């Protein structure tokens, strides 16, 4: 059995050559969010989310066709922990959370998350960490690329360069991919776009590259604002990307947006709907919601229906996974 206690002695000897501990959790699609959040709270360098199946080629990761056709049944969520005096505490905290998530998964008839630990020497840390992130083809036009990857892309593709730091949003998560596909479908050149819970800024940056005239990224987390700013500058779109740190109230006096996209946890979406989220959407605009749990979908649909919103479409990977809906 691959447990943390197995590696504990060799990690903490004075002569230990190990600097990092890689933690990888194999999960089903509907437990990706919770596991990624648990790992991200105390890990170094963000969280990697990748399909656990082998890719058909070495250069590219998941694409929209594979997502829609439910090809991937399992994902691997990976994070890295620096070996040091507080590693035991961090892993104990993580294992407590994973134990609780495992109990919930079992009660729901889902696979219990499976955790693997692997010590890593400092000499090969950078290469191993970066190998988790490959270019991702999404929709008909978008290609999400980490900044260190020099892969040649087709001229018909639009590159979006995202550094997978601490902020959520590398393009690997299914809900992020479904949001990007929805933006590509609905965006008209010259549109204004609001990204609530912008994380790395991937959605707003992609929107600008698809033709949006102006985007706003809203997040309460300082690290997310910093990450989004850096990614926007890397992509050369910072002049069309306004960043605001705070709650929805911080932008309520701004002009309405033709596209509003929300890719966050389901309970937060409910809070936003109850806080006049729809008032941010312009007449004949589009509201894209992602991460809606099946049991909470009826409540959200009821509240949106009360204010005159019409459901355009719903997409998810399986019947049990969070939904992306367009209004």
In a domain, 136, yes or no: no
Please count the structural domains in the chain. Answer: 2
Range of the domain at 232: 174-326
Structure tokens at 185: 């479908």
Residues 193 and 118 in one domain: no
Instruction: Say if residue 191 is in the same domain as residue 302.
Output: yes
**If phi over 0 gives left and psi between -120 and 50 gives alpha, with beta otherwise, what is residue 190?**
left
Both 179 and 312 in one domain: the answer is yes
Task: Name the 3-class secondary structure at 27.
Answer: strand
CB 79, CB 23: distance < 8 Å: yes
What are the tokens at 94?
């993580």
Residues 190 and 126 in one domain: no
What CATH number does the domain containing 264 carry? 3.40.50.150
SS3 for 16?
coil
| Dist. CA 50–CA 69, nearest whole Å | 16
Clarify whether residues 193 and 253 are in a common domain.
Answer: yes
Q: Would you state the structure tokens that stand for residue 50, as one six-digit string? A: 């990748």
Asked if the structure places residue 257 within a domain, the reply is yes
Q: Is 150 exposed, middle or buried (0-12, 13-18, 19+ CB in 10 A)?
A: exposed
The CATH number of whichever domain residue 116 belongs to comes to: 3.30.70.120
Determine, yes or no, domain membership for 161.
no
Q: What is the CB neighbour count within 10 angstroms for residue 163?
A: 16
pTM beyond 0.85, yes or no: no
Q: Domain boundary residue among 74, 109, 130?
A: 130
Question: For position 313, what pLDDT does the model report?
Answer: 73
**Residue 40 within a domain:** yes
pLDDT at 172: 67
- Residue 158: inside a domain, yes or no? no
191 and 319 part of one domain = yes
Domain boundary among 130, 145, 164: 130
Which pLDDT value is given to residue 169? 62
Instruction: Please give the average pLDDT of every successive group of 10 residues along the chain, which has 327 residues.
Output: 51 58 85 79 68 52 42 77 77 86 84 86 62 77 83 82 67 78 92 90 94 91 86 92 87 84 77 77 86 75 79 59 61
Domain presence at residue 38: yes
Domain shared by 59 and 195, yes or no = no
Going through 97-211 in order, the beta strands assigned E by DSSP cover 114-121, 136-138, 142-145, 158-161, 192-196
**What would the two tokens of residue 312 be?**
């355009």
Q: 150 Cβ partners below 8 Å, 6+ apart?
A: none
* Domain finish residue from 97, 130, 163: 130
Output the pLDDT for position 214: 93
Torsion of CA 269, 26, 61, 32, to 10 degrees: 0
Same domain as 189, residue 65? no
13 secondary structure, DSSP code: S
Q: Is 232 within the bounds of a domain?
A: yes
103 and 223 co-located in one domain: no
Do residues 250 and 312 both lie within one domain? yes
**The pLDDT value given to residue 61:** 47
- C-beta contacts of 92-96 below 8 A and 24+ residues apart: 93/42, 94/23, 94/38, 94/39, 94/42, 95/4
Cβ atoms of residues 217 and 227 within 8 Å: no
Q: Tell me what pLDDT residue 240 has.
A: 93
Pair 98, 220 in one domain: no
Query: Strands, E, within the chain: which ranges?
Result: 18-27, 44-51, 75-82, 114-121, 136-138, 142-145, 158-161, 192-196, 214-219, 241-245, 257-263, 281-292, 313-315, 323-326
Residue 149 lies in a domain: no
**Euclidean distance between CA atoms 138 and 221, whole angstroms:** 26
**What would the two tokens of residue 84 be?**
């040091």
CB atoms within 10 A of CB 69: 9
């Amino acid at each position: 059995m691959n447990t943390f206690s197995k590696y504990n002695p060799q990690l903490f000897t004075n002569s230990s050559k190990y600097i990092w501990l890689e933690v990888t959790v194999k999960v089903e699609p509907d437990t990706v969010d919770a596991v990624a959040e648990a790992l991200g709270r105390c890990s170094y360098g963000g969280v990697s989310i990748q399909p656990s199946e082998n890719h058909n080629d070495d250069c590219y990761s998941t694409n929209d066709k594979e997502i829609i056709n439910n090809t991937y049944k399992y994902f691997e969520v990976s994070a890295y922990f620096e070996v040091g005096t507080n590693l035991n505490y961090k892993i104990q905290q993580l294992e407590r959370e994973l134990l609780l998530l495992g109990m919930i998964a079992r009660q729901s008839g889902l696979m219990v998350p499976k955790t693997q630990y692997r010590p890593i020497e400092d000499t090969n840390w950078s290469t191993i960490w970066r190998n988790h992130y490959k270019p991702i083809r999404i929709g008909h036009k978008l290609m999400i690329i980490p900044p260190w990857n020099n892969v040649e892309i087709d001229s018909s593709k639009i590159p979006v360069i995202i550094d997978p730091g601490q902020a959520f949003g590398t393009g690997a998560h299914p809900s992020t991919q479904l949001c990007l596909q929805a933006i590509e479908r609905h965006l008209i050149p010259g549109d204004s776009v609001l990204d609530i819970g912008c994380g790395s800024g991937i959605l707003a940056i992609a929107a600008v590259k698809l033709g949006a005239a102006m985007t706003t990224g809203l997040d309460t987390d300082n690290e997310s604002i910093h990450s989004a700013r850096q990614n926007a500058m890397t992509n050369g779109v910072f002049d069309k990307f306004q960043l605001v740190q705070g709650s929805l109230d911080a932008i309520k006096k701004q002009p309405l947006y033709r596209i509003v996209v929300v890719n966050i946890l389901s309970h937060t979406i409910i809070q936003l709907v109850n806080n006049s989220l729809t008032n941010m959407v312009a007449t004949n605009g589009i509201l894209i919601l992602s991460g809606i749990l099946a049991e909470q979908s009826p409540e959200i649909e009821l509240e949106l229906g009360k204010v005159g919103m019409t459901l355009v479409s719903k997409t998810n990977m399986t019947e049990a996974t969070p939904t992306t809906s367009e209004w």
